[in-house]
A = this chain, B = another copy of it.
Amino acid sequence: MTTHQVLIAGQWRDSNSTGTFQADDPRAAAPIPEDYPVSSWAECEAALDAAATAYDQLRSVPREDIAVFLEAYADRIESRGDEIRALAARETALPADTRLVGELGRTTGQLRLAAAAARTASWCLPIIDSATNIRSCYASIGPVAVFGPNNFPLAFGSISGGDFATALAAGNPVIAKANSMHPGTTRLLAEEAKFAIDETGLPPGTVQLLYRIAHSDGEKLARDPRLAAIGYTGSRHAGLVLKTAADSVGKPIYLELSSVNPVVVLPGALIERSEAIADELTGSCLMGSGQFCTNPGMVIVQGDAAGQQFVETVAAKFSQAPVGTLLSKSGQNGLASAVKTLQSAGAEPVCGGEVGGGEGYSYANTVLKVTGDRFLVNAEALQTEAFGGSTLIVVANSTEQIAEILAKLEGNLTGCIYSATDGSDDRHYELVVPHLRQRVGRLLNDQMPTGVAVSAAMNHGGPYPATGHPGFTAVGIPGSITRFTMLQCFDHVRPHRLPDILQDPNPGNVWRLIDGQWTQADVVEPVAT
């Protein structure tokens, strides 16, 4: 069997590899007979060199060309959509005709939003101080490595997802490291990316693809001076290893790691609409077999009669729901291990808690419960993420205890509070919300966290260890583009040498902060007084 080629410096070429691997078909619980290479360090170096060359060229490429590339690529993904979804479905067990239709639309939508941002330079946030003639803006940072996760092969994919689109929109070359669980999907996307690069005339090394590298080479890559920044979405352990390497050389790394996404259901809400909330929770927690970064993995209720009943209602719904297929065997093992950890820490299974029940790799829909008292004495272990269709319901003895529990939480992507519509929970809300607000990137009311809208106002981020820095979002354009930029100031630089967006004439409806006012107008010479 031939081993698939890697995309380096604009060419599909035989890999300088140290071995090969195959992905699994999770429904069949068996390997897919396609060999993908594990790249050597020499190959990483070839990619780094090509990225550096591409970056030198990209810096004089008009923004418009980058926009055209991103749009051409989106069109190509759509044209080949059926084949991409079919292979993604095989490699991930995500349904081709529902979930992957939505995910493909999200992916092309993101690429087009990134194109619009590239075209209008909306991410540059130009600031002009006309009195001092000091001007600044965000600018590209250099080659970016993107490590994509297993659970969104398209919308967070290393060569098609949000990190890719935003790194490119800012004018940076991308070295994509495919997720090893869907190399074929990534290959199809990379083929289209290369066609789009060729047809739009961007530098050949602008987009490159490696399928797998040794962990030690990942660390070397993170430390290498040819690489300017990193985007990583995936497991906490591997992410933190990369973070340590990147931090040691002061390199920006943007991580999206694990998160239990606490949901607080206040007493009045349970009295008012317990059944509906249980339905929402079940739908949100089991969607995509529970493998969402914003999956509601922890629910906190009060232990009154309504709270006790809620636990039973949720467990009944979880038990009745079909068990989905997981992304991989390691995902199945990881989920089983996490549930064990939670049990060892004092959580009791209400339903589920065992491997199987679905097609291929699977794990029973699981509800665990634990008292607030118990949570407080073992808070760290009881925040173990169980990545899949599993949630832990913490039964507190008072609203005050809910506040105490929230104060023990690590950083999370999201936090939700359900409260009664008649205002009867407002007193409780005020008591608990300060603790939750500081520990999450996105606070929701009366809504589960799994919908992550692609909105300029979105924050798909949060305090450590949900991410590596609480000031950045991985979703939402132009905000997420800022991650892959540096701040550049121009102090008395001669006018013709300024970037067009910092020159006196506005090059085209760019929003700029001029002398403290946001405007799309030209810079007007200050009138001598």
Q: Are B461 and A516 in contact (CB under 8 A)?
A: no
- Would you call A16 an interface residue if the criterion is a C-beta within 8 Å of the partner chain's C-beta atoms? no
- Would you call A465 an interface residue if the criterion is a C-beta within 8 Å of the partner chain's C-beta atoms? yes
Which of A141, A142, A445, A487 gathers most chain B CB within 10 Å? A487
| Nearest opposing residue in chain B for A414, CB measure | B491
- Would you call A489 an interface residue if the criterion is a C-beta within 8 Å of the partner chain's C-beta atoms? yes
Q: Are A479 and B518 in contact (CB under 8 A)?
A: no
- Would you call A497 an interface residue if the criterion is a C-beta within 8 Å of the partner chain's C-beta atoms? yes
Q: Give the number of times this chain occurs in the complex, counting copies.
A: 2
User: In the bound complex, how far is the Cα of B129 from the Cα of A492, in angstroms?
Assistant: 37
User: In the bound complex, how far is the Cα of B464 from the Cα of A243, in angstroms?
Assistant: 15
Known pairs A243-B247, A445-B497; A457 contacts B488 (CB<8 A): no
Q: Are A464 and B136 in contact (CB under 8 A)?
A: no
Known pairs A134-B453, A457-B134, A482-B471; A490 contacts B56 (CB<8 A): no
User: In the bound complex, how far is the Cα of B122 from the Cα of A518, in angstroms?
Assistant: 11
Which of A243, A468, A471 gathers most chain B CB within 10 Å? A471
Known pairs A247-B244, A455-B132, A492-B447; A441 contacts B487 (CB<8 A): yes
| Interface locus among A102-110, A205-213, A249-257, A307-315 | A249-257
- Would you call A472 an interface residue if the criterion is a C-beta within 8 Å of the partner chain's C-beta atoms? yes
Given A56-B434, A250-B468, 8 other A-B contacts at CB below 8 A? Answer: A141-B470, A250-B463, A252-B471, A443-B493, A444-B493, A446-B494, A459-B488, A472-B487
Q: Enumerate 29 A-B pairs (CB-CB under 8 Å) in ascending A order.
A: A122-B516, A127-B456, A129-B457, A132-B453, A132-B455, A132-B457, A135-B457, A136-B457, A136-B458, A244-B247, A244-B248, A247-B247, A250-B411, A252-B469, A252-B470, A252-B471, A414-B491, A433-B497, A441-B486, A441-B487, A441-B489, A444-B492, A447-B491, A456-B516, A459-B488, A461-B487, A471-B485, A471-B486, A479-B487
Q: List 6 tightest A-B contacts by C-beta distance, closest first.
A: A250-B464, A518-B518, A459-B489, A470-B486, A442-B489, A129-B457
